[in-house]
Amino acid sequence: MNLTLKQFRYFEALARHGHFGRAADACSISQPALSMQIRELEETLGTELFERGARQVRLTNFGEEFALRVRDILRSVDELGDLARASRDRLVGRLRIGVIPTIAPYLLPEIITSLSGLHDGLEIHVRETLTSRLVEELAEGRIDTAIVALPVSEPALTEVALFNEKFVLVRPDADRDKPVPDRDTLREMRLLLLEEGHCFRDQALSFCNLRSARPRELLDGSSLSTLVQMVGSGIGVTLIPEMAVPVETRSAAVSVVHFKDPQPARTIGMIWRKSSPLAAQLHQISDIVRRAGEDVRSREETG
Amino acid sequence: MNLTLKQFRYFEALARHGHFGRAADACSISQPALSMQIRELEETLGTELFERGARQVRLTNFGEEFALRVRDILRSVDELGDLARASRDRLVGRLRIGVIPTIAPYLLPEIITSLSGLHDGLEIHVRETLTSRLVEELAEGRIDTAIVALPVSEPALTEVALFNEKFVLVRPDADRDKPVPDRDTLREMRLLLLEEGHCFRDQALSFCNLRSARPRELLDGSSLSTLVQMVGSGIGVTLIPEMAVPVETRSAAVSVVHFKDPQPARTIGMIWRKSSPLAAQLHQISDIVRRAGEDVRSREETG
DNA sequence: TGGCGTGATAAGTATTTCTTATGATGAACC
DNA sequence: GGTTCATCATAAGAAATACTTATCACGCCA
C-alpha cells in the first residue's frame, strides 16, 4: 500500500482531536473508517503514530514529527487548489507572443503597456520574426500566440481578425506635389521592398498585380525603417503600413500619400493553436490588442 | 473529488514523458487509467494541465508551475517514508525519563552518558520526583519511562527489574568500632528518615519491622545528603542505598557498615506504559540502564 | 485515402473504502 | 466487585473508485 493524502487528512484530524470519534466526525466519516485508515497508515510506515490509551489518544514522538511534516504537505496541496483557482480566470505566468516585424515596433509598446497593466504578474515574452516561422513555433508550442497578417490558413490554428490597416506610399519629399500614382503607374516606379519572406512584401506586390519582383537592391535583413531612409535619399519609393507612418517618416525627407480607392490594405489578426488551453484568455487578449491597434492608428490620424 | 497523491504521481510521470502510453508504462498501469486520472485531476483543478497536441503532450503554463510544486510535495512525502524507516529501529527524538530522588544523583550521570553516546540525536528530559507522581505522569503521557523501586504494581505499567541494591547503615564516625546492629537494635536507635512519600523511607521502616515512625525531626524536602550530614553531626543514624555511599559519605564524619544477612535491599527497575509504542526501545534502554547501575556499584566497591 | 500512432471513451471487473453492527477493554461508579 | 459507560477495534456487506481490455476518434503521413 501507499501513502495517501486521505490518510494524511484523517491523521491530521486525529492528531488535532486526540479522539477517534470526534476526528471521524470532523472528517464526515464513520469512526471505523478512520480507524482503518490510521492503521493502514501506521502499517505502511511500519511505525506507530499514536499511542492508544484507554481514555486518550496521544501522538508518539515520531507522530509529532510526522504531524509537522504532514501539515506542511497538506498546506502545499491546498495551495495548489488556490493556485489553480487563481489561474483559471485571469492569465498568469508567461505569455509568449510572436509578432511580425512590420507590426512589432508600432504596436508592441502599446500592447505590452495594456497587458501588463491589466494582468498583474504576467510575464511577456516577445518573438519577432516572419509569419512562416511564427507558425512553426506556434505548432511546436514555443509561443502561445502570434500577431500576423491574415489569412494564415493553417487548419490547426484559430484566426481572429483585429483590424485592417491601409498601405501608404512613401516617396521623396521632392515628389510632394506630384499626383498620387495608381497601381499601374506604381509598377513603373522603382519600388523598394523588404526581402523575400516578409508577408508585407507579398502584399505590396499583389497590390501592384506583380507576382514577383527582381529587386535591384538586396535588402536582406532590413526593415521598413531602412526602406524609408533609402526613399529619403531619393533612391525610389516604397509602401508602408499606415501604423508605421508616425515612427518611420518623422526623421526622413519623405512625403506620405494615401492611395485612391481601392486602397491597398491588409488584415491584422491573432492566431493560436486550436488546442491551446489559453483560448479563452487569448480571446480576451485579442480584444486588448485590437484596442491597442485602434489607439495607435487614431494617434496617427490626429498627430 | 479531491486531489490525491496517486494523481500527482501520474501527473509527474506524464509531465516527464510527455506521452500517455509511456507514462502509463512507467506507472505500471494501462493508458486509459492514466488518462482518466489526469482528466480527473484537471477537472478537480478546473484548469488544463496539459495541452494535447496531435503528436505531443505539453504542459501548459499552469502545468509547469503545478509540476514544480507537485515535485516538491512528492519529495516531502517520500521523505516521510524514509523518516519512518529511520525511526523504526533506533530511538529518536525526545525521551522523557523519570527517576526517584534516591537514585537520580548516583545513576543519572552514567545513564545520560551511555544513552546520548549510543543514540545520537536523542533528546533526554529528566524528571526527578516521588514514585507516586512519576506513576501519575506516566499514565498521563507526560513521561515515557521511570526508574523506581519495584514493585509498583500498576496493571497498566510494564515493570522490568534492573538490579538489587543493599541498604547500608550510616552512623557517626565515633561509632566506627561498635558492633553492627541488627534490625531490632536499629529500632532502638534514633533513625533519621526522609519525609513521607519517599519509597526509600518505607523500605527502611519495613526492614525495621515498623509500620510507621513518628519522626522527631521533620525533614520535609530533604535529601539523603542532608540525612548524612545530620548523622555526621551526631544526631542519629540513617540508612542509605549503597549506590549513594561514594557520593554522600565523602565529606561527612560518618562511618558506613553493611548489615549482616538478611541484608536490607530493594529492587530497582524501569516502568513504562504497556501501551507505549516505545516498548521495544525501552527494553533496549533498560539494558543500558542496568549496565550503568552495575558500573556505578562496581566503582563503589573498588573505590 | 488508408494505415499508423495516439489519446479518449465504454463496459465490465477488481479493489478499495465506507457503513452499520458488534466485540473487547479499561475506567468510573455505585 | 460487578455494572455501566466510553472508546477503539473488528467484521461483513454495500458503495464507490480505480483498473483492465476492447474500441473509437482524430490527425498525421505516405
CA distance A241 to A102: 8
pLDDT tens string for chain B (303 positions)?
789 999 999 999 999 988 999 999 999 999 999 999 999 999 889 888 998 877 788 898 889 989 999 998 998 898 888 788 777 767 767 888 999 988 888 888 888 888 888 777 788 888 888 898 898 888 877 888 999 999 888 888 889 999 999 999 999 998 988 888 887 787 778 787 887 778 878 787 777 777 666 555 555 556 888 778 888 878 888 889 998 888 888 877 899 999 888 888 999 999 998 888 888 888 989 999 999 999 888 876 665
Chain-chain contact of A93 with B64 (C-beta, under 8 angstroms): yes
- Asked if B16 and B43 count as a contact pair (C-beta separation under 8 A), the reply is no
Provide the CATH number for the domain formed by B93-163+266-302 in this structure. Answer: 3.40.190.10
On chain C, which bases lie within 7 A of the protein's CB atoms? 5-11, 16-21, 25-28
Tell me if chain B has a CB within 8 Å of the CB of A6: yes
Nucleotide at minimal C1' distance from the B56 CA: C6
Q: Which fold has domain A93-162+266-302?
A: D-Maltodextrin-Binding Protein; domain 2 (3.40.190)
Chain-chain contact of A93 with B61 (C-beta, under 8 angstroms): yes
- Asked if A258 and A168 count as a contact pair (C-beta separation under 8 A), the reply is yes
What's the sign of the alpha-carbon dihedral A117, A119, A120, A126? Answer: negative
Tell me if chain B has a CB within 8 Å of the CB of A275: yes
> Per-domain residue ranges for chain A?
5-88, 93-162+266-302, 164-265
Pick A47's closest partner by Cβ from B46, B66, B87. B87
Q: How would you classify the pairing of strands B50-52 and B57-59?
A: antiparallel
Q: Which of residues 83-112 of B touch A (CB under 8 A)?
A: 83-85, 87-88, 92-94
Query: Chain A contacts of B60, Cβ < 8 Å?
Result: 277-278
Query: Chain A contacts of B46, Cβ < 8 Å?
Result: 84-85, 88
Query: Chain A contacts of B83, Cβ < 8 Å?
Result: 62, 65-66, 69
State the nearest Cα–Cα gap between B81 and chain A, in angstroms.
6
Q: Which of residues 126-185 of B touch A (CB under 8 A)?
A: 141, 156
Q: What is the per-residue pLDDT for A198?
A: 83
pTM greater than 0.75 (yes/no): no
CA distance B233 to B254: 9
What's the sign of the alpha-carbon dihedral B175, B181, B186, B191? Answer: positive
Chain-chain contact of A84 with B92 (C-beta, under 8 angstroms): no
Q: How would you classify the pairing of strands A265-273 and B50-52?
A: unpaired
Q: Which fold has domain B5-88?
A: Arc Repressor Mutant, subunit A (1.10.10)
Chain-chain contact of A76 with B81 (C-beta, under 8 angstroms): no
Backbone angles phi, psi at B72, to 5 degrees: -55, -45
CA A248 → CA A225, A240, A253, distances in Å?
6, 9, 11
Unique residue bearing C-alpha cell 526622413: A252
Q: Which fold has domain A164-265?
A: D-Maltodextrin-Binding Protein; domain 2 (3.40.190)
Angle between helix axes B279-302 and B104-118 (nearest 10 degrees) is: 120
d(CA B186, C1' C11) / Å: 93
Answer whether A93-162+266-302 and A164-265 agree in fold. yes
pLDDT digit string, tens, across residues A21-69: 999 999 999 999 999 999 999 988 988 899 887 778 889 888 998 999 9
* Radius of gyration for chain B, computed over Cα atoms and rounded to the nearest angstrom: 32
Query: Chain B contacts of A38, Cβ < 8 Å?
Result: none
CA distance B50 to B59: 4
CA distance A175 to A177: 6
Pairs across A and B, CB distance < 8 A: 125
d(CA A36, C1' C19) / Å: 13
